[in-house]
Amino acid sequence: MSDKNSVNKEHLYFMNCALKQARKAFDRDEVPIGAVVVDPEGNIVARAYNMMHGKKCQTEHAEVRAIKKACKKIGDWRLDGYWVYVTLEPCTMCYGLMRLCRVSGLVYGAKSPLFGYRLDKDIDPGVYKNDTMQIVSGVLENEAIDILRVFFKKKRKKGEGRKEQYIKICKRTR
């Protein structure tokens, strides 16, 4: 894979693949977050979307599901050289899993002002001695925000309750 320090065509391509997964979650009435795992050669080895509400379990986040699929496919828990693309900034649980699996890079679309890993002041940035995970944020951010905004607007119209925490995620700051 080429340089991951700036938005490039690979970032855009793989984030679009993650957005396709988010649309699948949307269609299944799940919070629309999608993720893909990419191997060192630039091949997608796993795709997943949120299934937390349907499966009634917090471990059904898109990132966790994609990482589990990738580990199963390659037959190893170590994801050295692999990159995770996710439409929303990971929570501390998902971020920690990426660190433990030795993921080399994380690319995400929208920031999560309520649940993002950056909000946890106690998080240890390094798990292993040579922990150097690269992070790129804001790739197709508007598209990631838009699908979340539409989803929660639809939820409010259905009368399924207004959740202020998610409304904040969907607000655009320009």
| Residue 107, beta-bridge partner list | 85, 136
Asked if 164 is an active-site residue, the reply is no
Secondary structure class of 49 (helix, strand, coil): strand
Q: Would you tell me how many other CB atoms lie within 10 Å of the CB of residue 97?
A: 20
What burial letters (b/e) apply to 124-135, b meaning 16+ CB within 10 Å?
A: eeeeeeeeebee
User: Of residues 30, 63, 143, 160, which has the active-site annotation?
Assistant: 63
Query: 50 and 28 in contact (C-beta within 8 Å)?
Result: no
Q: Give me the amino acid identity at 136.
A: V
What residues act catalytically? 63
